Amino acid sequence: MSYLDCDLEELRQKIVSREVSAREIVARALDAAEKLNETLNAFLAIDRRGAEARAAELDQSLGKLPATGPLFGIPIAIKDNICVHGLQTSCGSRILGDYHPPYDATAIERLRAAGAVIIGKTNCDEFAMGSSNENSAYGPVRNPWDIERVPGGSSGGSAAAVAARIVPIALGSDTGGSVRQPAALCGIIGLKPTYGRISRYGLVAFGSSLDQIGIFGLRARDVAKVLSVIAGRDPHDATTADVAVPDYAAQLVPDAKGVRLGVPRALFGEGLDPEVRRAVEGAIEAYRDLGAEIVEVELPHAKYSIACYYIIATAEASSNLARYDGVRYGFRAEEADELIEMYRRTRDQGFGAEVKRRIMLGTFVLSSGYYEAYYRKAQQVRTLIREDFHRAFARCDAIITPTSPTPAFLLGEKTDDPLKMYLSDVYTCIVNLAGIPGISVPCGLSSSGLPIGMQLVSRHWDESTLLRLAHAYELAHPLTARPPVAANW
């Protein structure tokens, strides 16, 4: 039997009842991570010593503490742009190199307090900029379903680690789709919560008004459980809101009765792979069978979302990345004889091509003379997009779209054409612009056996509806196939 056939609660029960030790579970995850890394390159750091020590500590604490945490003994992987004390945080970049943050991100602190064991840091596109994981300075991640293909990005390492059954749960970050799109391409669940739901303290900033930590898992119930642990107000992040955090897992029901599901038909047209369209249309019918009422909705400004996103995200990135100057963190170029030259060389050698492209774009759209035409205009369009959703949610409780216009593409297929790569985010980045929550759920396989994902989005703070819909679908239509490259522990 595989322990990964258990959900997190069942696994935790086995550990606290001493049917299996936390050490054994964690050792299995570590073994799988090490073994599969040669093929997948999903991890940039594997913390065998730290994870084994923590697991032993948990085993020893059993029976001594009055209560055990909700994630007691569960092995977890963390994207390498989230600070974990004692481990590197490279953001997939040379410029941070082996930067070791002296503190834990709030989400990490909460995971640890719940008993989770961090086994390592996962590969990602440099500073989370990308849709294929090919922008990592440490080589691309490979998709466990077909190692010639990308896992999606930018949180490709976390998605591949869960899809390959190395860990049952991983954290990523989502600025324009970086959790949902790789979840879709790897056949797992990926949740991006409402902006302000999970603290960004300790998440390295890319586009601060868009960034959220997100959760990958094999089941909606597991994702729900982890969300209840890490969500909520944090005095270290003023954008977290004081909205109560429910026990999301306890709220799950196996149907969609009473839910009005909106379908924006106009988004099912040009550029959408016919197999993806068919799979998502099948899911709409499945929801009808589960009791949902299907309604048509319109998002008239959706067509501007890519343009709007790539102006706002690059503007914010150009400002956030100004701090990497060779003085405060990580890498410094050696050969310079004066300060400005040192900054220039450090940034030239430390950043990869995509990051430089974004810094230039962002600096351009913020420069005097262009600010009004681009940045300000994009902010106005962002408001129109939010209003589109507001109007749509007067008629429905959730909206369904594809997550990605195509299944996983080949490594190298889009690297020469940034615009084509940016179009991978057409369904996802609009959700970050509106600040609402979104989830990707597997909804079938293509004829060549690649996973397809659907995206569900809902009102601010209504993660419950998304998790409920994901749960109901997954019970009725489980994805039983497994990727050829996968551990089985």
Binding mask 150-179 for ligand GLN (x = CB under 6 A): ----x------------------xxxxxx-
x/- mask, ligand GLN, residues 365-384, rule CB under 6 A, reads: --------------------
178 belongs to the catalytic site: yes
Nearer Cβ to ligand GLN, position 23 or 414? 414
Which of 80, 130, 43, 124 is CA-nearest to residue 353? 130
Per-residue exposure over 77-107, b if at least 16 CB sit within 10 Å of its own CB, e if not: bbbbbbbbbebbbbbbbbbbbebebeebbbb
Taking 3-state DSSP, the helix, strand and coil percentages for the chain, each rounded to the nearest 5, stand at 40, 15, 45
Which range, of 19-27, 125-133, 252-260, 457-465, touches ligand GLN by CB under 6 A? 125-133
Smallest separation (angstroms) from ligand GLN to the CB of 489: 30
Minimum CB distance to ligand GLN, residue 206 (Å): 6
Name which of 390, 367, 270 is nearest 311 in CA terms.
367
In the residue annotation, 356 being an active-site residue is answered as no
Q: Which is nearer to ligand GLN, 130 or 187 (CB)?
A: 130
Amino acid at 301: H
Residue among 29 and 160 whose Cβ is closer to ligand GLN: 160
Q: Of the candidates 131, 194, 346, 458, which one interacts with ligand GLN according to CB under 6 A?
A: 131
Residues 210-249, one symbol each (x = binds ligand GLN by CB under 6 A, - = not), give ----------------------------------------
Determine contact, residues 124/139, Cβ cutoff 8 Å.
Answer: no
Two tokens at 119? 């086994």
Q: Whole-angstrom Cα distance, residue 196 to residue 237?
A: 9
Q: Which of 178, 199, 318, 446 is catalytic?
A: 178
**Of the listed pieces 106-114, 128-136, 339-347, 449-457, which binds ligand GLN according to CB under 6 A?**
128-136
- Taking CB under 6 A as the rule, does residue 313 contact ligand GLN? yes
CA neighbor of 133 nearest in space, from 160, 159, 156, 158: 156
Tokens at 75, concatenated: 């092995």
* Minimum CB–partner distance for residue 434 and ligand GLN (Å): 14
| Structure tokens that stand for 349 in this block | 């050698």
Of 117 and 129, the one with the shorter C-beta distance to ligand GLN is: 129
List the x/- string, 263-302, binding to ligand GLN by CB under 6 A: ----------------------------------------
Tell me if 183 sits within 8 A of 190, measured CB to CB. yes
| 168 in Cβ contact with 217 (< 8 Å) | yes
CA angle in degrees (0–180, nearest 5) for 234-240-246? 85
What CA–CA distance (Å, rounded) separates 226 from 321? 30
Residue (262 or 362) nearer to ligand GLN, CB: 362
Q: List the end-to-end C-alpha distance of the chain, in Å, as a whole number.
A: 8
129 binds ligand GLN (CB under 6 A): yes
Looking at 70, 130, 151, 182, which residue binds ligand GLN (CB under 6 A)? Answer: 130
**Residue 123 vs 131, nearer CB to ligand GLN:** 131
Binding residue (CB under 6 A) for ligand GLN from 80, 109, 388, 425: 425
Region 446-465 residues binding ligand GLN, contact defined as CB under 6 A: none
158 carries an active-site annotation: no
CB-nearer residue toward ligand GLN: 290 or 378: 378
Q: What letters, b where the CB count within 10 A reaches 16 and e where it falls short, cover 146-181?
A: bbebbbbbbbbbbbbbbbbbbbbbbbbbbbbbbbbb
- Report, as residue numbers or ranges, the catalytic residues: 79, 154, 178
User: What are the residues binding ligand GLN (CB under 6 A)?
Assistant: 128-131, 154, 173-178, 206, 313, 425
